[in-house]
């Protein structure tokens, strides 16, 4: 196994752990890790590969959350199905944007994500919530918007999905974390299929990223259940790291735009 393979495994472990722990947000690191650590030169290939790997890791983590009975399946399904349509459209448009410009926009999104995570307030919510027509309509609308952003930037979108599901349904945060993984996986799959059809997926790197992510995800889910009351603190720590990575991405992409 060469150094690039080890970097792919390690990067996948980091993203999988964050996905399992926070139910989202970890996927925002996947593209920068693939570009600046693993060494994928084409930003579009990094986005396509990231989407596939994040999708697989999210579905693996979803199994663990389902076993812990934290997934609200009707709400999660309504959000995911509508979001897949938005993700396909977003991925189609994203493929036609210059790679350096896309990375620069990605860095700005990372800063917005970090700001949202810093400002997030823990919400108790209703652990016994059941879907009804009003909730379904709110979830479908939110799913379309979040899915588009997910497809355009090649990210799982969990950092948007968790608060969107909570806002649309009123469910408890631990249920939103578990339920969000169905959408993270579905959005990533829709995005990856769009990029794969254009030959913009590195399958070897994706496979290694997934293997590392499964191991990291199992550890993240276990810790998530144990530290559910302290997830707000963990999110803020992760947000600080995201700011650092975002500034690095903006610096590197700005250099590429000026050259």
pTM for the predicted model, two decimal places: 0.78
**CB–CB of 20/220 below 8 Å?**
yes
Q: What is the pLDDT of residue 25?
A: 61
Separation CA 5–CA 172 (nearest Å)? 39
3-state SS assignment for residue 70:
coil
Separation CA 253–CA 247 (nearest Å)? 10
CA dihedral 118, 31, 151, 220 (to 10 degrees): -60
Q: What is the pLDDT of residue 153?
A: 80
Q: What is the pLDDT of residue 160?
A: 74
pLDDT tens digits for the chain (259 residues)?
A: 788 899 999 999 988 888 777 766 666 788 899 999 999 999 899 999 999 988 888 898 788 889 888 899 999 999 999 999 999 999 999 888 888 888 888 788 778 777 766 765 544 567 788 899 999 999 999 999 888 988 888 776 666 787 788 888 988 877 887 898 899 889 889 889 999 999 999 999 999 999 998 888 888 878 876 776 665 666 676 677 778 878 888 888 888 777 6
Q: What is the pLDDT of residue 68?
A: 85
Q: What is the pLDDT of residue 4?
A: 86
Q: What is the pLDDT of residue 138?
A: 94
Locate 62 and state its tokens.
């979803």
Distances (CA, A) of 40 to 30, 32, 215, 218: 12, 10, 23, 26
Beta partners for residue 126, in sequence order: 171
Locate 61 and state its tokens.
């983590």
Buried b (16+ CB within 10 A) or exposed e, 133-153: eebbebbbebbbbbbbbbbbb
């Amino acid at each position: 196994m060469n150094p690039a393979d080890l970097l792919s495994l390690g990067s996948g472990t980091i993203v999988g752990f964050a996905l399992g722990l926070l139910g989202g947000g970890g996927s925002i690191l996947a593209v920068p890790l693939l570009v600046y650590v693993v060494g994928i030169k084409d930003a579009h290939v990094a986005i396509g590969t990231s989407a596939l790997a994040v999708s697989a890791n999210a579905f693996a983590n979803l199994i663990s959350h389902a076993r812990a009975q934290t997934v609200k399946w009707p709400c999660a399904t309504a959000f995911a199905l509508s979001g897949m349509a938005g993700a396909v459209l977003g991925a189609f448009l994203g493929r036609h944007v210059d790679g350096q410009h896309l990375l620069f926009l990605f860095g700005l999104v990372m800063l917005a994500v970090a700001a949202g995570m810093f400002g997030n307030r823990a919400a108790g919510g209703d652990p016994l919530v059941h879907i009804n027509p009003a909730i379904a309509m709110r979830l479908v609308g939110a799913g379309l918007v979040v899915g588009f952003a997910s497809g355009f930037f090649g990210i799982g979108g969990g950092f948007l999905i968790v608060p969107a599901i909570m806002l649309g349904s009123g469910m408890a945060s631990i249920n939103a974390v578990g339920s969000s993984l169905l959408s993270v996986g579905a959005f990533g799959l829709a995005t990856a299929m769009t990029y794969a059809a254009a030959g913009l997926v590195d399958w070897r790197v994706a496979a290694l990223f997934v293997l590392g992510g499964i191991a990291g995800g199992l550890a993240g889910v276990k810790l998530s259940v144990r530290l559910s009351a302290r997830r707000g603190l963990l999110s803020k720590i992760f947000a600080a790291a995201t700011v650092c990575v975002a500034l690095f991405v903006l610096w590197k992409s700005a250099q590429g735009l000026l050259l």
